[in-house]
A and B are shown apart, each in its own frame.
Chain A
Amino acid sequence: MKHEPVHQGRLKSPFYSRLESLDTVNEWHQWKGYSSADQLYCSDTEYFAIRNATGVFDLTPMTKYRITGPDALDYLNRLVTRDMAKIRPGRVAYAVWCDDNGQVIDDGTIFHLREGEYRLCSQERHFAWLKAAAIGFDVTITHETDEVAALAVQGPTSYSVLSKMNLEGLEELKPFGLMHFDFQGKELMISRTGFTGDLGYELWIDPDKAEALWDALFEAGKLHGIRAIGTTALDMARIEAGYLAAYMEFLPADETVRTGVSRSPLELGLDWLVDFKKPNFNGRRALAKEKRNGSTWRLVKLDIEGNKEAHHSYIFSNAKARGGNIGFVTSAVWSPVCKQNIALGTVKTPHGKPGDTVWVEIYYQREMHWNRKMAKATVVDKPFWFPPRRGATPPGPY
């Protein structure tokens, strides 16, 4: 048996050299073993690149599994709650997967690369669970995080940027579609997916061609305000889009110790992803029961008065905080583009129906002194940011 040395320290993404040369603030964190930038110069500027031009985010540390074999479809259909038979080759599905108790392990995207060949992407690692799910199925699961370099290219000018890269047919690519192109003799896969709720693409390529792709992309984007971005800016955008993040809106169920701290898809507003017409999938029995008896929690999008960000706030049903809290805020941000004080939170049912008024207890510091404010908040139904260009095919130039 050949022993490969265990890598010590942080891994560097194939785009590291490019990110490093743009970096001015040296603020990095660790994402599944990789160095990932919080910000490269200024998170606000980077945020505005996403919303007004094009932001480029290094997605390489995102967990990627290749799923192939005769039973791949059956396997995925048992794994996730939605019906994967409807996802044709060349399409991408946002999906959520649960344990037997119907509690969410993670959410992610499943790319139907070619007939019977899939890639599953998620923030967290799930090899043990995916292997356990493969017992009795003729499938091969390959962990390919390190073998695929990936970039998110997001923002209103993203199509204009990519259209300069000689990618024939890209204008026809619909949201949640994917296409294969040739890039300097290697296959470049482009999907119209993202984490910003706007027009955007994700680019997937062999790590050998990562730097060349980066250079070509930035050359093409020179006149379109292209900028590399870090996680802080991306996180602002994803809250505006109303997207969930593991360890923020939910804990992976297989990581929890106590009962009652995980969440079901129904409790995360993902009812539309749960297809009870499928005869069997992980969590089906538990979720059917939950559907009959009602859920404990509800995910809410909050439009909060004022401009004080409601980080970690308790949520109450009334301004006087009588009757104890009904939940708490999981993600909060001042949305520059919406000019709204927004948050995602989790509240106990029956509270938190769209249109309901709730109260958020915000603590904020002013010249060292702490202040408390009960801010009125409205539960909203739609994402805070949902521009029409996100769904337009072909996307217009900017």
Chain B
Amino acid sequence: MTDKYDAIVVGAGHNGLVCSALLAKAGKTVLVLEANDQVGGAAVTREFADGYSASACAHLLYQLQPEVRKELKLSPKLASEDMTTIALAEDGQHLRIKGDKVKGVSDDDARQYRRFRKRMTRFSDLLRTYFNKPPPRLGTKNFKDLLTLAQLGFDIRRLGKEEMQEFLRLIGMNIHDEVTERFESPLLRGAISLDAVLGTHLGPRSPNTIMTYLYRQAGDHGRTCVPQGGMGAISEELAQVARGEGVTIRTSMPVKRIVVDNGRVTGVETESGETFSSYTVISNADPKRTVMNLVGAKHVETGFGRRIHHLRARGNAAKLHLALDGLPSIKGLDKKDFGQRMVIAGDEHYVERAFNPAKYGEFSPHPVVEMTFPSFRDESLAPTGKHVMSAVVQYAPYGLKEGWDDAAKEAFKQAVIKTIARYAPDIEERITASELLTPADIESEFHITGGHWHHAELTLDQFLFVRPVNGAAQYALPIDGLFLCGAGAHPGGGVSGAAGRNAARTILRREKAV
């Protein structure tokens, strides 16, 4: 006997949860199957050492879409809100960046930064509108698609002649050229470059890194927060809302395959051999895993399969968690500063040089670091008086030449710790335990092919109308009843909920159209 549902969501990542909750809210019976024993996918809080917990992957909340928050009535408790970014300097002359203000630079730079932010905010607001609707298809006569497309054109035009030209000039450009043109301060240039490349296989000189910078700003204007209890708390809240709407969530239930019969989905089969029936299956897994592993190449056509196969999704961001017996000391910082976000990116060249080895399958000997001390504001994460450091570190290429064995992981970990120690000399003495998650670990533990933040590289050729690939850009895959709702779908990764919400809306709209 098999259970029958209106919809089955494969994977309880935050997008899968958003999607399931919205479908249930519309009256659907929904089942969510999660491979791991925790909900949240990569948005989870895990204990990595006795008494010490950290957000396993994503550790900062800056993109949760207001639409998602509103529709699901989310009110996450925040440990830190609107954090200042501190660009660390070895001599203690740090920069402090918040909103459109930056302290520690010349008046010229401060003025330029205000202007830069104003423009970027305008552009990212424009993009944000489109992140919250399915991208229009190109080359169709569908009225809704044409309308959205016309609206996008109109919105770009409405920026005004000069701003439109700027938008079109900048969107494919690299962040390096923009920051070197604008700013004198190396630290400021470095911090902006880092924001543009975090979570990608891109360096500041790579094309379209202004687009990735805008993408990052397109949630909450770049304001970063830390949820109380880590990122897992967001997922837990989402799961609670979903359950409240009647969604059935089952963890430790890895899906073995999505069953396709005569060109349409009929349900899923789990590793344990259970089958669940539904004519609508929504995959929160990445596009490659969904099509190649869960569905199987023989159920799609060659051209489509080839596009999916060639999706670029080589993760490059690793996560380092340190259990500390006390806060380290950093020259020029007060104790209260440990509640802020710190970045290590001396200048734009430092970031690019960190990227260079990654092109050849080697990790950065001098990595870039985005670090936080979440336990500073959230005592639930570490024993009293002790602390946790959570850092995103780049670059650690998924396809490391010699493979991510224990020796390679240890070597990279030491490189990161040495880098941090240049600013916090006593950090090494404070470490009592540590955990490094390379993209290879992220792949095996969170089932993300390539261990990539965005499931698929965030580049113009895999963006908007063609994300993840041509023929699947509107959440529907070319198999009847099969949809994507994860980061690999439009608009992309980050804890935003946009992909999950758009997918749910697409499914409900298609149903209405039938």
Contacts and interface: CB of A to CB of B under 8 A. Distances in A.
B309 interface: yes
A266 interface: no
B19 to A, nearest CB: 25
Given A284-B263, A285-B478, A137 B297 contact: yes
B302 A280 contact: no
A129 interface: yes
Contact of A279 (B262, B292, B309, B478): B262
B182 interface: no
B303 A136 contact: no
Nearest to B470: A100
Nearest to A131: B306
A280 B302 CA distance: 11
A152 to B, nearest CB: 30
B296 interface: yes
A100 B302 contact: yes
A189 B395 CA distance: 57
A283 B301 contact: yes
A282 B297 contact: no
B306 A132 contact: yes
Interface string B1-28: 0000000000000000000000000000
Contact of A135 (B262, B305, B478): B305
B478 A79 contact: no
Q: Chain A interface mostly helix, strand, loop or mixed?
A: loop
A99 B471 CA distance: 14
A142 B507 CA distance: 43
Interface residues of A, number: 20
Contacts of B263: 279-280, 284-285
A78 interface: yes
B146 interface: no
Interface in B277-303: 292, 296-303
Interface string A127-144: 001001101110000000
A136 B304 contact: no
B471 to A, nearest CB: 8
Interface in A61-99: 71, 74-75, 78-79, 99
B301 A282 contact: yes
Contact of B301 (A74, A75, A137, A280): A280
Interface string B327-365: 000000000000000000000000000000000000000
Contacts of B304: 100
A136 B261 CA distance: 18
A282 B302 contact: yes
Contacts of A99: 302-303
A78 B302 contact: yes
Q: What 9 A-B pairs come out closest when comparing CB atoms?
A: A136-B297, A100-B303, A133-B302, A132-B306, A100-B301, A279-B262, A135-B309, A282-B301, A282-B302
Interface of B: 260-263, 292, 296-306, 309, 471, 478
17 contacts: A78-B302, A100-B302, A132-B305, A132-B306, A135-B292, A135-B309, A136-B298, A279-B260, A279-B263, A280-B298, A280-B299, A281-B301, A282-B301, A283-B301, A284-B301, A285-B263, A285-B478
Given A136-B296, A280-B263, A282-B301, 4 more contacts: A78-B302, A135-B297, A136-B305, A282-B303
